[in-house]
Structure 1
Amino acid sequence: MNLPPVGLGTMGIEEPDVIATALECGYRHLDTAQIYDNEVVVGAGLERSDVPREAITVATKVWADKLEPESVQQSVQESARKLGLETIDLLYVHRPIETYESEVTLPVFDSLRDAGNIDHVGLSNFTLDELETARRILESPIGAHQIEYHPLFATPELLEHARRHEYPVVAYSPLASGRAREIEVLVEIANRHGTTPEAVSLAWVLQHDTVVAIPKASTRSHLEANLQAASLELTPGEVARIDGIECEEELFPA
């Protein structure tokens, strides 16, 4: 599936006006999840916007305690109701843990797609082995794989898998949960470009083939800044410097 370079991560957003403002600024990919407890907020923001529904990709995720077949069906109906949607564009398995059983869970996602309840099946926080198992079981193509990805935590092997099998990687926490401004390399590069370390972090993420990002922002200025970061061009040397940061810090481990 085709996704814009920068979408909106909505975890922690509690006001529909933020969603409506994001759409007004030009966002066309909204990412939420059952566990964020704000699908109603996202739905209300969609309702307040004049942007045509067909122009927006809305994604949500089924949490790990609802991955048994009956629970998937019921929770997805509830998600669609909260979002005010007939069809969810992209539905993820949020994490392959707890009640997840690949042979049991994934066919339900296929059936939801066959029935027109969802358009694309997504996976989130999967390992290479889990991705390969999912590819074997799913009849649907992988619509996207959502993973934590930023200068402090990168998994190039997952990007290579996405390139090889032609699906996008959706990077969450591309600003390292606010830590981008503390990374000396990013600060130096930002000063050279007259921009912010956050913009450099986001530009570096987007520099990778097949990768799009969903930074969270709540104010118009930050929403606009994140969109503008997509046009920031880093030199090969700058990309290599960021690649060389010797720190592997996963902020959201399973």
Structure 2
Amino acid sequence: MQHIVNRQGLNMPKLGLGTWPMLADECTRAVEQALALGYRHIDTAAGYNNEDAVGQAVANSPTPRHQIHITTKVWWDQLQPDAMRHSMDRSLKALRSDYVDLFMIHWPSTDWDLPRTIETLVALKEQGLARNIGVANFPLPLLRKVIEELGAPLSAIQVEYHVLLGQNALLDYARQHDMALTAYTPLARNKVSDIPAIQQIAAKHGALPTQVALKWLLDQSNVAAIPKASSEANQLANLAAFMINLDDQDRALIASLSKRQRQVSPDFAPVWDAFDE
């Protein structure tokens, strides 16, 4: 796959495989299968409890480790410096690798020393344990603080983003600061398949609604997407999304959809920015 987001040395394939909530053998099989089909971007996290399964799949695969982009993340209750370092050590051991391609703070915390947390994140990059660093689920004011006040050399932010949830302000900011934006839950927990406008565009192109929703994201500069897919059929369908050519009429129809339907907002989530149409 030659569709790459290249930002600050981050050579990340635009389409990745999301692994939550797959566990154990199911996860290992799905990742092995995806690698065999041509995926080269795998997204995991300490909080998913499946890094060992991902590591097993990568070890089993004939694809060399250096050709696979692996993102993992540290959980929000492990953001004290020592805890972060231990989380990284556990992740590397589980993944059977001496580095990760992208290491992210999974969620912001309310009880943290932000400058020390970011300092530790940067140190992990400087030590070579993480090739690139980033954050997930940070609202724009917090992202601004990390980049503009603390000077963190972030390569990426990962947030929920799909045809039903706008992220224009974050995406504009990411582009201004030469960062990638990775879209998780890119199919809105498969709600995209039930949207008449998306069904209409899919019928026009002889495609699946999920493929239309994915291609809308993949067509955007700086944007990557990580749909979870365990079956070979779904993994292949997601890869085939690249073949669709959306036109201005399609994009206008998607733009007309409400962009306020957030799917993921756990109890520990930050206060989100005002809805971004």
Return the TM-score normalized by structure 2.
Answer: 0.89
Sequence identity of aligned pairs in percent?
A: 35
Q: Post-superposition shift, 1:230?
A: 2.1
Greater shift, 98-107 or 155-164, is seen at: 98-107
Q: Post-superposition shift, 1:247?
A: 4.4
Q: Does 1:19 align with 2:28?
A: no
Deviations 1:189-217 (A, max 9, x none): 10111111100110111122211100000
The 2-side partners of 1:252 and 1:161 are apart by 22
Q: Counterpart in 2 of 1:194? A: 206
Name stretches of at least 5 consecutive residues in structure 2 with no aligned partner: 1-9, 270-277
Q: Post-superposition shift, 1:138?
A: 4.9
Q: Counterpart in 2 of 1:36? A: 48
The 1-side partners of 2:127 and 2:75 are apart by 21
Q: Does 1:113 align with 2:125?
A: yes
Q: Does 1:10 align with 2:22?
A: no
Q: Post-superposition shift, 1:123?
A: 0.8
Q: Counterpart in 1 of 2:58? A: 46
1:217 partner amino acid: A
The 2-side partners of 1:100 and 1:197 are apart by 41
Q: Counterpart in 1 of 2:7? A: none
1:105 partner amino acid: T
Q: Counterpart in 2 of 1:209? A: 221
Q: Post-superposition shift, 1:174?
A: 0.7
Asked if 1 retains the 8 angstrom alpha-carbon contact of 2:155 and 2:178, the reply is no
1:75 partner amino acid: S
Q: Post-superposition shift, 1:140?
A: 4.7
Q: 1:30–1:187: structure 2 CA closer, same or farther, 3 Å change rule?
A: same
Q: Post-superposition shift, 1:113?
A: 1.1
Q: 1:91–1:137: structure 2 CA closer, same or farther, 3 Å change rule?
A: farther
Q: 1:10–1:66: structure 2 CA closer, same or farther, 3 Å change rule?
A: same
Q: Post-superposition shift, 1:99?
A: 4.0
Over aligned residues, Cα RMSD in angstroms? 1.2
The 2-side partners of 1:102 and 1:175 are apart by 32
Runs of 4+ residues over 4 Å off in structure 1: 137-140
Q: Counterpart in 2 of 1:246? A: 258
1:117 partner amino acid: L
Q: Does 1:150 align with 2:159?
A: no
2:229 aligns to what SS in structure 1? coil
Deviations 1:82-131 (A, max 9, x none): 11111111100111124443212000011111111111111111111111
1:31 partner amino acid: D
The 1-side partners of 2:139 and 2:263 are apart by 16
Q: Counterpart in 1 of 2:71? A: 59
Q: Post-superposition shift, 1:75?
A: 1.0
Return the TM-score normalized by structure 1.
Answer: 0.96
The 1-side partners of 2:112 and 2:69 are apart by 25
The 2-side partners of 1:164 and 1:247 are apart by 22
The 2-side partners of 1:29 and 1:7 are apart by 4
Name stretches of at least 5 consecutive residues in structure 1 with no aligned partner: none
The 1-side partners of 2:217 and 2:236 are apart by 17
1:88 aligns to what SS in structure 2? coil
Asked if 2 retains the 8 angstrom alpha-carbon contact of 1:102 and 1:137, the reply is no
2:168 partner amino acid: P
Greater shift, 31-40 or 128-137, is seen at: 128-137
2:94 aligns to what SS in structure 1? helix
User: How many residues get paired?
Assistant: 254
Q: Post-superposition shift, 1:136?
A: 3.1
1:248 aligns to what SS in structure 2? coil
1:141 aligns to what SS in structure 2? coil
